[in-house]
Amino acid sequence: MTYGLIGLGAMGWTMAKRWLNAGHKLVVYNRTREKTKRLAEKYPDRVILAESPREVAHRAQYILSMVADDQAIQAIAGDDEENQGLLSALGAQHIWVDSGTISPKISQNLSRRTLERGAVRLEAPVSGSVGSQGR
Ligand SMILES: NC(=O)c1ccc[n+]([C@@H]2O[C@H](COP(=O)([O-])OP(=O)(O)OC[C@H]3O[C@@H](n4cnc5c(N)ncnc54)[C@H](OP(=O)(O)O)[C@@H]3O)[C@@H](O)[C@H]2O)c1
C-alpha cells in the first residue's frame, strides 16, 4: 500500500517515520524540499518524492496532511491545476485525512470542495506532541 503525506514539520516527520518503519511506501511533499530529500536519504526504498501536493494525489489514494495553519492548508489545497494544489487532483478514489489544527470555517470549506470532487476528507486534528520521537 502506498500512502501520501503532505507536511514534514515536527509532527509530519514523526508520523512519516512511523509509516516507513512499519514497511509502507510513502509519497511525500513538503514546501521545503530539503526535508523530503533528507527523509528519502534515510529510507531510499520507501520514500517517493512528489513535486507538488497534486502529484501526491496522483500517486496515492490515502493522503495525510499535517501543515501548520489556515494559510498553510490553503496553500497546499488549491483546486486550480496551475498551482498544483491537492484538490485539483482529488477524485472518488481518495481519502484525505487532515490532521493540522485549522479554523472550523476553513476546514468546512475544504470538506465541501473535497466532496464536490467525489472524495472524502476527514477532519482529524491531534493532541499530544513529538516528545522523544522527534527528528
Ligand atoms: N508540534 C506539536 O506538538 C503539535 C501537537 C498537536 C498538534 N499540532 C498541530 O500540528 C500541525 C503541525 O505542527 P508541527 O509542529 O508539525 O509544525 P511545524 O514543525 O512548524 O511544521 C509545519 C509544516 O507546515 C508547513 N507549512 C507552513 N506554512 C506553509 C505554507 N504557507 N505552505 C506550505 N506549507 C507550509 C511547513 O513546511 P516547511 O517545512 O516548508 O516550513 C511544515 O511542513 C499544526 O497545525 C499544529 O498546531 C502540533
- Domain of 37: which CATH number? 3.40.50.720
For the chain, the average pLDDT equals 94
Q: Which three cell numbers stand for residue 127?
A: 493532541
Number of structural domains, the chain? 1
Rounded distance from Cα 91 to ligand 1 centre (Å): 26
Per the model's pLDDT, the better-predicted residue between 132 and 83 turns out to be 83
What is the per-residue pLDDT for 133? 52
Substitution site in 66, 98, 107 for ligand 1 pocket (most atoms within 8 Å of beta carbon): 66
Q: What pLDDT does 77 receive?
A: 96
Pick from 17-26, 46-55, 97-106, 122-131: least confident: 122-131
Closest-CA residue to 98 (of 39, 53, 36, 38): 53
Atom of ligand 1 nearest to the CA of 7: 43
Residue 134 confidence (pLDDT) above 60: no
Ligand 1 contacts CB of residue 78 (under 6 A)? no
The C-alpha atoms of residue 101 and residue 10 are separated, in whole angstroms, by 14
Q: Is residue 135 predicted with pLDDT exceeding 60?
A: no
The residue segments making up the domain with residue 11 are 2-133
Please name the residue whose Cα sits nearest to atom 2 of ligand 1.
129
pLDDT digits (tens, 9 = 90+) for 25-48: 999 999 999 999 999 999 999 999
Whole-number pLDDT of residue 102: 97
Which residues touch 112 (CB under 8 Å, ≥6 apart)?
none
pLDDT in tens, 68-80: 999 999 999 987 7
As a whole number of angstroms, the distance between CA 77 and CA 82 comes to 12
**What is the percent of the chain where pLDDT is above 70?**
97
pLDDT of 117 reads: 96
Hey, what's the cell of 79?
483546486
**Å from CA of 21 to ligand 1 middle:** 22
